[in-house]
């Protein structure tokens, strides 16, 4: 039983997606190709199915009472053969090493839907008993309201696997796209990176550096190295928290030229393996680059559409140079603006404030932007 329900991700082609779920299947695919992936095991979807059929009455499952189902999953005892198999996997991964415990639903990381962030992931999990609790929490996340709104399949008719992966205590981490996510251009690789754990990037909690490289040659086309005041890392209590970035790193690039080249090369290799454009999470520890997961890009970018701060403006020189700002207006119109309030502000700017500024003949700033347009844009 244990051999069938908990398996090592070794690149074995016999491990099928309906057993591993999307995320684990993708990792196994990368391992099979020889790409650098941290060691991992998978608690299969069949393990979840056996557990859920024993732990939760069928009437409750079919009723779709997600809150009650989640509570029962979190509080039910796991069958001893399965829990022992998970303990054995933890021991084989290193015993006292920290693990990432990641959900791997059957629909996850597919060609049509990514389910990014819909199911639970836990970082820096220590000890087999805590791993067992986090596995149940991943199972319970299949029944989360956010996942139900995103999924096309009722949770009662779906299954979920869980990845147990050696935690990379990253020096730097982030995401890489094998096409430009904003323009859809496929001749480039786009990398966003931060210091510390990649959780800060995917959650939007930290400022990132951005790099655009030529996909064919790996040549750096553009870079934006930003001020990075905070980073995500584990504190002394083992919790993932935001910490102040050491001063020497705040304005320094979070990746060097060699690391960028290695990431671009890995992105090209993974793209060839999958045959489609990818969204890849990665980490760097002690100058070793690791791929943590890869999923197909499911939303194709179209041509960028211009959004004007003052779309009614007939003079293109003024319209094209105006830009959005909340300065001044943010102190007057606080909170969310209602449709009535927005329409009033637009009427005021278009018919009263804007014409008044024009009448005064307000000059153009040294940057080439109309200073009056800054104020004009604030109420939009």
**Domain boundaries along the sequence of the chain:** 6-166, 172-296, 309-379
Least confident of 226-230, 238-242, 260-264, 274-278: 238-242
The most confident of the ranges 143-152, 301-310, 357-366 is 301-310
Q: Which residue has the higher pLDDT, 326 or 68?
A: 68
| Residue 36 in this model has a pLDDT that exceeds 50 | yes
374: pLDDT confidence band, cut at 50, 70 and 90? Answer: very low
Residue 221, φ and ψ in degrees, nearest 5 = -95, -45
* pLDDT band per the 50, 70, 90 thresholds, residue 329: low
Burial 285-301 (b: 16+ CB within 10 A, else e): eeeebbbbbbbbbbeee
Flag the least confident range among 12-26, 147-161, 212-226, 264-278: 147-161
Q: Please check the confidence at residue 366 and state whether its pLDDT lies above 50.
A: no
pLDDT value at 48 more than 90: yes
Considering only residues 369 and 256, tell me which one the structure prediction assigns the higher pLDDT. Answer: 256
Residue 75 has pLDDT above 60, yes or no: yes
pLDDT in tens, 173-195: 999 999 998 888 999 999 999 99
Indicate whether 149 pLDDT > 60.
Answer: no
Of the listed ranges 42-46, 74-78, 337-341, the least confidently predicted one is: 337-341
Mean pLDDT of the chain: 84
Mean pLDDT for 318-338 is 67
- pLDDT, residue 301, reads 66
Could you write out the DSSP letters of every residue in 148-191?
A: HHH-SS-GGG--EEEEEEE----SEEEEEESS-TTT--SSEEEE
- 222, pLDDT greater than 60: yes
Q: In whole angstroms, what is the distance from residue 139 CA to residue 161 CA?
A: 8
pLDDT value at position 94? 92
Q: Answer whether residue 1 shows pLDDT above 50.
A: no
Q: Whose CA is closest to 261, among 287, 225, 281, 226?
A: 287
Higher-pLDDT residue of 146, 118: 118
State how far the Cα of 24 lies from the Cα of 29, in Å rounded to an integer: 9
Strand ranges across the sheet with 188-195: 220-224, 209-214, 188-195, 172-177, 278-285, 288-296
- Mean pLDDT, residues 282-299: 92
The answer to whether residue 323 scores a pLDDT higher than 70 is no
What pLDDT score does 136 carry? 96
Give the neighbor-by-neighbor strand order of the sheet with 121-125.
6-8, 40-43, 160-166, 99-105, 121-125
* 278-292, 324-338, 340-354, range with the lowest pLDDT: 324-338
CATH of domain 172-296: 3.30.470.20
**CB neighbours of 26 closer than 8 A, spacing ≥ 6?**
109, 293, 294, 295
Q: Residues 225, 229, 230, 235: what is their CA dihedral angle, to the nearest 10 degrees?
A: 130
Q: What is the mean pLDDT of residues 290-302?
A: 84
By the 8 A CB rule, do 250 and 207 touch? no
Residues 318-340, mean pLDDT to the nearest whole number: 69
Second-level CATH architecture of 6-166: 2-Layer Sandwich (3.30)
Supply the pLDDT for residue 41.
97
Looking at the chain, the whole-number percentage of residues with pLDDT higher than 70 is: 82
Q: Compute the average pLDDT of residues 331-347.
A: 76
Four-point Cα dihedral 248, 249, 250, 253, nearest 10: 130
Question: Alpha-carbon distance 313 to 317, whole Å?
Answer: 9
pLDDT digit string (tens) for 82-119? Answer: 999 999 999 999 988 999 999 998 876 544 444 445 78
């Amino acid at each position: 039983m244990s051999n069938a329900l908990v398996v090592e991700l070794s690149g074995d082609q016999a491990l099928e997606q309906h057993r591993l779920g999307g995320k684990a299947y993708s990792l196994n695919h990368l391992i099979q190709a020889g790409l650098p992936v941290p060691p991992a095991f998978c608690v299969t979807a069949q393990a979840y199915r056996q557990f859920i059929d024993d732990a939760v009455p069928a009437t409750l499952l079919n009723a779709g009472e997600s809150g009650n189902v989640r509570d029962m999953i979190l509080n039910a005892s796991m069958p001893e053969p399965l829990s022992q198999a998970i303990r054995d996997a933890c021991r084989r991964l290193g015993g006292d090493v920290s693990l990432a415990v990641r959900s791997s639903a059957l629909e996850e990381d597919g060609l049509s839907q990514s389910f990014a962030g819909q199911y639970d992931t836990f970082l820096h999990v220590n000890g087999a008993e805590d791993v067992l609790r986090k596995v149940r929490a991943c199972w319970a996340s299949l029944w989360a309201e956010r996942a139900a709104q995103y999924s096309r399949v009722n949770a009662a008719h779906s299954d979920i696997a869980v990845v147990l992966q050696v935690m990379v205590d990253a020096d730097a981490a982030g995401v890489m796209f094998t096409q430009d996510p904003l323009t859809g251009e496929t001749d480039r690789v786009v990398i966003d990176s931060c210091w510390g754990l990649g959780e800060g990037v995917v959650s939007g909690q930290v400022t990132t550096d951005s790099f655009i490289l030529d996909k064919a040659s790996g040549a750096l086309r553009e870079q934006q190295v930003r001020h990075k005041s905070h980073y995500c890392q584990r504190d002394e209590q083992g919790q993932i928290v935001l910490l102040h970035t050491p001063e020497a790193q705040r304005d320094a690039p979070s990746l060097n030229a060699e690391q960028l080249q290695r990431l671009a090369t890995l992105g090209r290799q993974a793209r060839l393996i999958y045959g489609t454009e990818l969204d890849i999470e990665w980490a760097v520890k002690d100058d070793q680059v690791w791929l943590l997961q890869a999923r197909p890009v499911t939303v194709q970018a179209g041509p960028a559409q211009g959004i004007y701060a003052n779309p009614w403006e007939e003079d293109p020189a003024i319209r094209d140079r105006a830009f959005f700002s909340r300065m001044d207006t943010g102190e007057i119109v606080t909170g969310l603006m209602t449709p009535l309030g927005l329409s009033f502000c637009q009427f005021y700017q278009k018919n009263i404030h804007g014409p008044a500024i024009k009448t005064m003949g307000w000059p153009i700033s040294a940057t080439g932007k109309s200073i009056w347009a800054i104020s004009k844009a604030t109420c939009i």
